[in-house]
Amino acid sequence: MSLSGLLKGCGERERAFQEILRSFLPEPKQFYTASGHKAFSKEYQLRAPAAQALERRDVAFVGTAFTNLAEVMVARAVERGKRAVLSFPLAFKGLELATEKLGSAEVVKQQLKDFFTASVLKVERFVKGGESIEKILPACYYLSKLEQLSGLYQDVWPKNIPAYLKAREQRELVTDLERLCGVFNHVFIQSGLAGGKSRAVFRPSLGRLSDELGGAGVSFYLDGTLYYMKTSQTYGYRWREIAQAVSGYLLYLLDCGQARPAHALGELRVERLAFYQARFGEIEYLDLSRLDSLAIETAAQNLKAFFTK
């Protein structure tokens, strides 16, 4: 079962998992924002309003596409680790699944593969300093469609896969993404939060157990902080989102205690967890050094016992 499944489920095992986290979750007052506004409060100002009357799948797509765009914008800003953002493993998985489903339609399959390669190359040019964010939107749009396919049961896939993947971008979604990217650029890039000397790791593995649970949803690691992208137009303290991030950190700590850790951060330290509220340009930080070390250790060991039953 996935980490999100454990957090949403109602069975006995899921409730036991949730209880471990509820006993440890930080309170809203333990978070602070980069802007100085009270975390999770009405002090936030809407800076990138969502497109009107979007279908549920479009809302999810915007979240996926924006996360990809945010990652490549950070990759462009930093000096080290740029190429790691270009692997697009979930998009590649979606491409493999799509071409497998198309069977003997070799011409169409090759077209989809060629478009994948061209899209990655266009993103690479952006990361190296060429192109503009507007120019790579179609490329990220296509890669994000493939990424979404990788996470769907095939019985709910579009009936005509080539038509879905090759369809022109929806104007309202592109406009939405442009607004979100503009705010992100101001908050992360122009401010210098992500800069040349920054250490960045994209979609970092937090260890073997975290990977087995489908990952903790981390977008990127930047200078000691694990960032989670959020594109909802509502705000507030949501315990499942907090629990997902906290459980990912606890699983990372358990992995660090292994003889051969499998996480992707190496010697880099995790000092904070952060939620970036993309429509408000707000970053909600949790300083891990402010948490009770004994409570952290107890929660980590309780999780270890839970997964070894």
**Which pLDDT value is given to residue 104?**
82
Model's pTM, two decimal places? 0.94
To the nearest 10 degrees (0 to 180), the angle between helices 56-77 and 133-150 is: 130
**Which pLDDT value is given to residue 306?**
93
Separation CA 95–CA 74 (nearest Å):
25
CA atoms within 13 A on the CB side of 221: 25
**Domains in the chain: how many in total?**
1
Separation CA 286–CA 271 (nearest Å):
9
Separation CA 7–CA 5 (nearest Å):
5
Reported as a single tens digit per residue, the pLDDT across 76-91 is 999 988 888 998 999 9
Determine the structural domain holding residue 158 and report its residue range: 3-307
Q: Which residues of the chain have pLDDT under 50?
A: none
